[in-house]
Amino acid sequence: SNIVAIVGRPNVGKSTLFNRLLERREAIVDATSGVTRDRHYGKSDWNGVEFTVIDTGGYEVNTEDVFQEEISKQVQLAIDEATSIIFMLNVDEGLTDTDQEIFEMLRRSNKPIYITINKVDSAKEELAATEFYQLGIDRYFTMSSASGSGTGELLDAIVKEFPTTDYKDPFEGLPKITIAGRPNVGKSTLTNALLDVERNIVTDIAGTTRDSIQTLYNKFGYEFVLVDTAGMRRKAKVKEDLEFYSVMRSVRSIEYSDVVIIMVDATLGWESQDMNIFGLAQKNRKGIVIVVNKWDLVEDKSTNTTRDFENQIKERIGQFTDIPILFVSALTKQRILKAVEMAMEVYENRAKKIKTSKLNEVMLPVFEHTPPPATKGKFVKIKYCVQLPTPSPQFVFFCNLPQYVKEPYKRFAENQLRKHFGFTGVPIEVYFRQK
Ligand code: GDP
């Protein structure tokens, strides 16, 4: 998909434009690190074409001396991450040295750059804006971020020139697995370990989606795509990667995947960042496998230890606990193929479709035997059930009085489905509807 970054000196109006672009949509990220709170990343669309917007301004340091270095870091990250770049300038202050330096960096990037001159509210300012031709450009856009004028022309141009509007997933139909986890948990080590196991059978396709590398595996008896975020391999290149970008990448990888392997550090336990990743995967109805890594560092490996660890995780993750938890070492490669196996199993569970006849045959007697509790002397009768044709399992139970079916009974229905049909690792939705 396309990513539009807004770059420029502090106070030129980046955030105002960003907020305008997001107005009609909610920020999609509710993951970690204040990304939502500050809303520096979100989805927008123009004439039905969706794109992601990044406001690079959120990380500005407003003291003059650190400023130069900080800006060039922001600009470099934007160049790495974005497919199109809006370079914002300000007619009041004219063309500054900093602007020229930013422009030098952008010019070298080969990305489409949209020079946008802000705070142009009058004919006098339109004329003043011609000063920016000094940059040696043949086109610029003017806008008034206060009134919003000019935004449409800018977006028309950007969207029309999107490099990946016709993007087609080259791995359509193959299982997609992503390894998510906080920094240093061992994601790269696992990825590389899996690569090492069968190096020659692996196909790397870089840049198939903008910010991740897909690796196609067709060994271990399986064919699947490991979606690994570019951040993992690019580590050496951008050392001080902002957490913001790594969160953004993991959000996008999770959205693109079928199964998320959530990697936890055995020496640290389950922490809030792990919970955020879990929440994101669950909300997107992705399959989940939890992998506790660095198990080689744990001295007491008795069943008690693993059980305690499991219980600790299950207590924190709430209702949905039917999830495989594995204890591995990416470093010594212990049980790493088991992790792949589990992920594939969860993939199958997620794709599972239960025949309507079978579903009714199994579930109706269960409901008959344990009906929802009567409310105000009325009895709920469940008559018929179907699984919806959705990517992840969702079930509809038709009954006479759906309003009387409360949360605990929905949970009961879900657990019965899990018990009889096996949906380990997969979030399930159940709905009660009037026939
Ligand atoms: P990433 O940021 O999640 O990609 O983490 P890395 O794969 O870069 O690993 C961070 C550090 O943890 C490195 O020093 C690894 O060698 C180390 N590490 C990764 N997996 C294991 C493991 O299973 N056992 C031990 N002892 N160290 C590990």
pLDDT digits over 296-335, tens only? 999 988 888 999 999 999 999 988 999 999 999 999 999 9
CA–CA gap between residue 120 and residue 107 (Å, rounded): 24
Q: Report the residue among 179, 182, 189, 295 best suited for mutation to probe ligand 1: largest number of ligand atoms under 8 A from its CB.
A: 189
Please write the tens of the pLDDT for every residue from 263-288. 999 999 998 888 988 988 898 889 99
CA distances from 168 to 17, 165, 173 (A): 30, 9, 12
Please tell me the distance between residue 203's alpha carbon and the centre of ligand 1 in angstroms: 24
Please tell me the distance between residue 12's alpha carbon and the centre of ligand 1 in angstroms: 41
What pLDDT, on the 0 to 100 scale, is given for residue 327?
97
Name residue 198's amino acid.
Answer: E
What pLDDT, on the 0 to 100 scale, is given for residue 300?
86
Confidence bin at 163 (pLDDT 50/70/90) = confident
Residue 239 has pLDDT above 60, yes or no: no
> What residues have CB less than 8 Å from 314, skipping those under 6 apart?
321
What pLDDT, on the 0 to 100 scale, is given for residue 368?
95
293 lines ligand 1 (CB under 6 A): yes
Residue 344 has pLDDT above 60, yes or no: yes
What pLDDT, on the 0 to 100 scale, is given for residue 216?
78
Average pLDDT, the chain: 82
Instruction: Let me know: does 126 contact 120? Beta carbons within 8 Å.
Output: yes
Q: Taking residues 66-91, what's their average pLDDT? A: 83
Confidence bin at 229 (pLDDT 50/70/90) = low
Q: Taking residues 120-128, what's their average pLDDT? A: 85
Q: Taking residues 421-426, what's their average pLDDT? A: 98
User: Residue 418 — φ and ψ, nearest 5°?
Assistant: -60, -45
- Which ipTM was obtained for this model? 0.97
Please tell me the distance between residue 80's alpha carbon and the centre of ligand 1 in angstroms: 25
Q: Percentage of the chain with pLDDT > 70?
A: 81
Which value, to the nearest 10 degrees, does the dihedral of the CA atoms of residues 417, 420, 424, 429 take?
-10
CA distances from 420 to 83, 343, 354, 370, 382 (A): 47, 20, 11, 15, 18
Confidence bin at 207 (pLDDT 50/70/90) = very low
Residue 30 has pLDDT above 70, yes or no: no
294 lines ligand 1 (CB under 6 A): yes
Confidence bin at 389 (pLDDT 50/70/90) = confident
Confidence bin at 242 (pLDDT 50/70/90) = low
Residue 25 has pLDDT above 50, yes or no: no
Among the listed ranges 144-158, 210-224, 299-313, 315-329, which one has the minimum average pLDDT value? Answer: 210-224
Residue 112 has pLDDT above 70, yes or no: yes
Confidence bin at 4 (pLDDT 50/70/90) = very high
Residue 149 has pLDDT above 90, yes or no: no
Most confidently modeled range among 92-101, 117-126, 241-250, 322-331: 322-331
What pLDDT, on the 0 to 100 scale, is given for residue 236?
37
Residue 34 has pLDDT above 50, yes or no: no
Residue ranges of the annotated binding site for GTP are 8-15, 55-59, 118-121, 181-188, 228-232, 293-296
Name residue 360's amino acid.
Answer: N
CA–CA gap between residue 228 and residue 230 (Å, rounded): 6
Most confidently modeled range among 179-183, 192-196, 383-387: 383-387
150 lines ligand 1 (CB under 6 A): no
Please tell me the distance between residue 412's alpha carbon and the centre of ligand 1 in angstroms: 40
CA–CA gap between residue 9 and residue 96 (Å, rounded): 9
